[in-house]
Every structure is written in C-alpha cells, then in structure tokens.
Amino acid sequence: MSIKVTGLTYVYMKGTPFEKIALDNIDLSIETGEFVGIIGHTGSGKSTLVQHFNGLLKPTSGSVYINGEKLEGKRARELKRQVGIVFQYPEHQLFEETVYKDIAFGLIKRGEEENEIDKKVRKTVRMVGLSEDILDKSPFELSGGQKRRVAMAGILVLEPSILVLDEPAAGLDPRGRDEIFELISNLHKSNKMTVVLVSHSMEDVAKYVERVVVMNKGRIEMCGPVRSVFNKIDELERIGLAAPQITYLMKRLKEKIPEINDNILTVGEAKAELEKYIRKA
C-alpha cells in the first residue's frame, strides 16, 4: 500500500487569532513496502502530517491518496483501515479490564466473529513478543514495556498494511528500545509492511529507515535516502537537527586518519570500518 500527499495544507484554529499554519503545501509519496523516517523539530508538523494518513485530520486544502485512491467519500472508511497509527505513549490509551479485551477492541468495533477475533488476538500477542498468559491480566498491572507492546498489538491486530509510529520508543530503557525497533523491523521485513517512523532520535532513524523526510516549519526541507540526508550535516544543523553522534565521531577521526570512510551512520558500520582500517595498518 502506498501513500501519496499532494499540495497538503493544514491550518490549526482557522479564523481565530490563534490561527497557525501547521502544514504548508506538502507533496510526498511513500511507496509500498518502504520504511520511511520523518524527522523534524517539535512543532515542525510531523505529527500533524501523519494524522492525515488515516483521516484523523482533514486537509484544509490538498489531498491524501491511499494506494492511488483519494481518502474521502464512501471509500474513506475502507481506506482508513489500511493505515494503523501508533501514537506516542500508546499505553496511555489502554482501558479495558483485561489485555485480551483491550487488544480485541478494534475487532469488536468492526463486528468480527468471535473465533476470528480470538485467533487474531492470540496471533498478534505472539507477534509482539508476549506470551498468551498475559491475556487475562489487567493492562494496568503490566510493566511499561509490556504495556507498550499490548497497545501496539491493539493496532496490529487490525492488520493494517501501512504502519505509522510516532516516537515508538519514547520513555523506554535501552533494552526496551532495541526490542521495539526489532519488532518494527521484523514487521517491515517479514510482513512486508509499509512503515513510517516519526522520531527525534537520529540514531534510530539512521539505523532502521531507508528514506528520510526532514520537516521544518510545516514544509519538507529535505527528502532522500538516509545516507545522503545525514551527509548534509550543515543543512540539518541549520534547522536545529543533527546527524547521529557516531557520524560526528567518524568525521573527527577522518581529520586524523584521512583514509577512512566518514559516511557512517551506525555504531555497527563504524566498528566494521575501523576494524578494516586496523587490519590494513
């Protein structure tokens, strides 16, 4: 499933003194099976942009297409279902008595059959790396990491073909962070899901996504493969962003050791590059 956005403008509180242009004439297309990262400052419009993907916000002007079909009218309901958005701190939306009921919420709303629901809930719980024992517990007695997985399961159980995640690892410890990204990465690779990751963390974006969209003040500032975007450090810094820390380290190292490659985005790449250098030396 692909997403295409053309001439999208969104104005908050239109017609009041608090009026603010959140998105200014955005053109963007995300292809089927892509893993795209959206980065930008707080207030740059990234969250506003993704909320248009499943019709939570309606464009002030411009249009959104899901798989080539315009997101409006009769088909809108069907198209919206293809896009699952996991919000920041999704565990704050848990409310049911048991984990099972919470995950099944969306399916029950859709009016699916009971044994079908049961099958899907159990499959999804395993998919997010939890055991089925957890299903009868109250979501409020779980640990932070578990809650987040349950909340994500609540979206994944609806089997969206496009998954949008807004800061999925915020507030998790380093291990929980790795596990969540492992899960997302898996969904992308084995389930062929189109994934859109909204994040502040340059490290996470550099490590997992294929293409980056850089947003600034409601406009798309840059857009391209991760490597080429993070290579333009000056431009990123001008709008208050940065490259991953390891990239800076490698650039400093290159000043001393000119023969190494400084176009490095992750610690893993850096390690390989340095080992190669040491072996040669």
Partner 1 sequence: MIKDITLGQYFPGDSLIHRADPRVKIILTLVIMTNIFLIDSYLAFAVFAGFIAMAVFIGKIPFAYTLKGLKPIMPIIVFTALVNIFTNPGILLAGYGPVRITYEGIDTAAKMSLRLVLLIMSSSIMTLTTTPISLTDGLERILSPLKHLKVPVHEFSMMMTVALRFIPTLLEETDKIMKAQASRGADFETGNMFERAKSFIPVLIPLFVSAFRRADDLALAMEHAAIEVEREEQG
> Site residues (CB under 8 A) for partner 1?
12-13, 17, 51, 54, 56, 84-85, 87, 90, 92-95, 105-107, 109-110, 140, 154-155, 158
Closest approach, Cβ 67 to partner 1, in A, equals: 18
Closest approach, Cβ 56 to partner 1, in A, equals: 5
Closest approach, Cβ 110 to partner 1, in A, equals: 6
Beta bridge partners of 189: none
> Is 34 or 91 the residue whose CB approaches partner 1 more closely?
91
Closest approach, Cβ 204 to partner 1, in A, equals: 21
> Is 56 or 272 the residue whose CB approaches partner 1 more closely?
56
CA distance linking residue 64 with residue 155, whole number of Å: 21
Strand, helix or coil at 66?
Answer: strand
Strand, helix or coil at 89?
Answer: coil
CA distance linking residue 155 with residue 84, whole number of Å: 6
What contacts 24+ positions apart, CB below 8 Å, involve 114-122? Answer: 120/157, 120/159, 121/153, 121/157
> Is 141 or 275 the residue whose CB approaches partner 1 more closely?
141
Helical (H) or strand (E) element with 40: strand 35-40
Quickly tell me which residue has 């050791």 as its tokens. Answer: 257
Dihedral over alpha carbons 149, 150, 155, 159 (to 10 degrees): 90
Closest approach, Cβ 131 to partner 1, in A, equals: 22
> Is 54 or 161 the residue whose CB approaches partner 1 more closely?
54
CA distance linking residue 119 with residue 165, whole number of Å: 25
> Is 153 or 264 the residue whose CB approaches partner 1 more closely?
153
> Is 155 or 236 the residue whose CB approaches partner 1 more closely?
155
What contacts 24+ positions apart, CB below 8 Å, involve 72-80? Answer: 79/55, 80/54, 80/55
Closest approach, Cβ 266 to partner 1, in A, equals: 31
Residues 6+ positions from 131 with CB-CB distance below 8 Å: 125
> Is 22 or 214 the residue whose CB approaches partner 1 more closely?
22
Closest approach, Cβ 209 to partner 1, in A, equals: 21
> Is 117 or 214 the residue whose CB approaches partner 1 more closely?
117
Helix H, strand E, coil C: the string for 100-146 is HHHHHHHHHHHCCCHHHHHHHHHHHHHHCCCCHHHHHCCHHHCCHHH
Residues 6+ positions from 175 with CB-CB distance below 8 Å: none
Closest approach, Cβ 118 to partner 1, in A, equals: 17
